[in-house]
């Protein structure tokens, strides 16, 4: 009976060995297929990654150019504001100051002419409300 058990054990061991060899062959084929598929996937993804890299580089370049343009516009606006300020100052210096001086000269001439053609003492307008307005206000208030 021991010979029978030994035979059964030998056949069982052989069957297990054949099963393990078959499993290793199937696993090797599956690994090769997975490797082939990964290679194909890598070849497919490589142009996509290259395009993404190119797009990223273009976006970085566009951002840099936009920042430069904003800085340039800022410098132009600062220069424009400075020039407008200088122009306004020049206008005040060349037009308003002589106009004020001319007005002062005109007032002086008017006073001189008024002195020659004196029609009596000049009465300056009273400042503040007139006496009639003060009386009207007093009657309304009290």
pLDDT band of residue 122 (cuts 50, 70, 90) is low
Total domains in the fold of the chain: 1
List the alpha helices (DSSP H) in 92-130: 97-116
**Distance from C-alpha of 140 to C-alpha of 136, rounded to nearest angstrom:** 6
Residue 1 within a domain: no
**Distance from C-alpha of 92 to C-alpha of 126, rounded to nearest angstrom:** 33
* 50 vs 128, residue with greater confidence: 50
Cα 40 to its chain centre, rounded Å, is 43
Residue 35 within a domain: yes
**Does the pLDDT at position 96 exceed 90?**
no
Residue 139 within a domain: no
Q: For the residues 63-81, what does the mean pLDDT come to?
A: 95
List the domain range (segments joined by +) for residue 35: 15-85
Q: For the residues 116-124, what does the mean pLDDT come to?
A: 63
**Distance from C-alpha of 75 to C-alpha of 7, rounded to nearest angstrom:** 98
Tokens for 141, please give them.
Answer: 């208030």
**Predicted local distance difference test score (pLDDT) of residue 130:** 61
Query: Rg of the chain's alpha carbons, rounded to an integer?
Result: 53
The mean pLDDT of the chain is 85
Q: What is the pLDDT of residues 99-115, one digit of tens each?
A: 777 788 888 888 888 88
**Distance from C-alpha of 91 to C-alpha of 83, rounded to nearest angstrom:** 12
């Amino acid at each position: 009976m021991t010979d029978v058990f030994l035979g059964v054990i030998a056949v069982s061991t052989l069957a297990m060995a054949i099963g393990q060899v078959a499993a290793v062959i199937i696993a090797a084929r599956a690994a090769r297929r997975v490797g082939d598929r990964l290679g194909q996937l890598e070849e497919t993804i490589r142009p996509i990654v290259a395009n993404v890299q190119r797009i990223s580089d273009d976006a970085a370049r566009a951002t840099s150019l936009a920042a430069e343009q904003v800085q340039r516009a800022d410098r132009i606006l600062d220069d424009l504001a400075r020039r407008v300020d200088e122009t306004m100052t020049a206008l005040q210096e060349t037009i308003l100051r002589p106009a004020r001086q001319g007005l002062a000269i005109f007032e002086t001439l008017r006073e001189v002419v008024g002195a020659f053609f004196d029609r009596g003492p000049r009465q300056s307008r009273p400042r503040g409300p007139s006496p009639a307005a003060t009386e009207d206000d007093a009657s309304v208030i009290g």
